[in-house]
Amino acid sequence: MSAWCRACLKPVTWATTEAGKRLALNPRPDPAGNQAAYRDGTGRWLTRQLGKDARPFGWERRYMPHVATCTGEARTATVSPLPQLPANVIPISRARRLLSARRGDPK
Ligand SMILES: [Zn+2]
């Protein structure tokens, strides 16, 4: 299942751990990761933590838990509901008013 991290807005893959908990993994396999994950026949990602010297089984790949690399920038960033428009762009509502005024349409 693809999703985005709410903290840093990067894509993550949600996997289910052996304990039945949900863990966000970075979507690309990572040889430095400590999670052995694979996708089962239903498309669900399953993951288990690898011990120090453990290796993934043949059907698994190593993944990094997203929390290990999350930068969390979006957590503090302020998201403006109305982004500043570039100087040469006007809001569509104003453009419509200008167009209808030019055409002489009734307001
Ligand atoms: Zn993140």
CA 4 / ligand 1 centre spacing (Å): 8
Structural domain contains residue 103:
no
Q: What's CA 73's distance to the chain center, in Å?
A: 13
Q: Tens digit of pLDDT for each residue in 60-88?
A: 999 999 999 999 875 554 544 556 677 77
Number of domains in the chain: 1
**Above pLDDT 90, what percent of the chain?**
62
Q: Residue with structure tokens 């453009």?
A: 95
Q: Tens digit of pLDDT for each residue in 33-47?
A: 999 999 999 999 999
The average pLDDT across 40-55 equals: 95
What is the value of pTM for the model shown? 0.65
| pLDDT range class, residue 96, cuts 50, 70, 90 | confident
CA 26 / ligand 1 centre spacing (Å): 9
pLDDT of residue 77: 47
Whole-Å CA distances, 78 to 4, 74, 83: 18, 8, 11
CA 20 / ligand 1 centre spacing (Å): 21
Structural domain contains residue 93:
no
Structural domain contains residue 25:
yes
Domain hosting 9: range is: 2-79
The average pLDDT across 12-28 equals: 96
Structural domain contains residue 15:
yes
pLDDT of residue 95: 82
